[in-house]
């Protein structure tokens, strides 16, 4: 059996959405994501400009399920909450925790995610 000496890191991420085109427009407006103009698979959109390789996948059955919590680090939580709402999404009022501020959100295409502004001392 092979052993590893380094931690296993997340290598790819797909975010299920009910409406792919609306979700692409929403996340492009919110985070500035750019999507592959010629996706490899129908019902899928690869994000081209994130450090973590990821994409959106059209799956109405899985969209919004709470199987995985995604926390997107932001510098200005209040501004991003306002932007989510401006783009037609839903965002809870920010809550403060020891780790920082958090807002639970849902994009207008059904994707559930969190915005997180780290407290000082948190990576």
> For position 84, which CATH number holds?
3.10.180.10
Domain assignment of residue 123, yes or no: no
Domain assignment of residue 2, yes or no: no
Full domain range(s) for residue 76: 13-118
Domain assignment of residue 1, yes or no: no
Q: Would you write out the chain's pLDDT as a tens digit for each of its 123 residues?
A: 554 456 556 568 888 899 999 999 999 999 999 998 877 678 899 999 999 888 898 887 877 776 566 888 899 999 999 999 999 999 999 999 888 999 999 999 988 888 999 999 876
Domain assignment of residue 4, yes or no: no
Provide the whole-model pTM: 0.70
Number of domains in the chain: 1
16's CB contacts (< 8 A; 6+ apart) are 56, 57, 58, 59, 62, 63, 64, 65, 110, 111
109's CB contacts (< 8 A; 6+ apart) are 17, 18, 19, 20, 21, 22, 23, 26, 63
Residue 12 pLDDT: 81
Domain assignment of residue 74, yes or no: yes
Domain assignment of residue 86, yes or no: yes
Domain assignment of residue 46, yes or no: yes
């Amino acid at each position: 059996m092979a052993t590893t000496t380094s931690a296993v890191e997340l290598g790819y991420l797909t975010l299920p959405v009910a409406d792919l085109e609306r979700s692409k427009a929403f996340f492009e407006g919110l985070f500035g994501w750019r999507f592959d103009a010629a996706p490899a698979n129908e019902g899928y959109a690869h994000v081209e400009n994130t450090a973590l390789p990821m994409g959106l996948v059209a799956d109405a059955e899985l969209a919004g399920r709470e199987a995985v919590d995604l926390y997107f680090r932001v510098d200005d939580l209040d501004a991003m909450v306002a932007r989510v709402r401006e783009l037609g999404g839903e965002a809870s009022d920010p809550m403060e925790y020891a780790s920082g501020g958090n807002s639970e959100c849902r994009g207008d295409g059904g994707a559930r995610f969190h915005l997180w502004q780290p407290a000082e001392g948190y990576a």
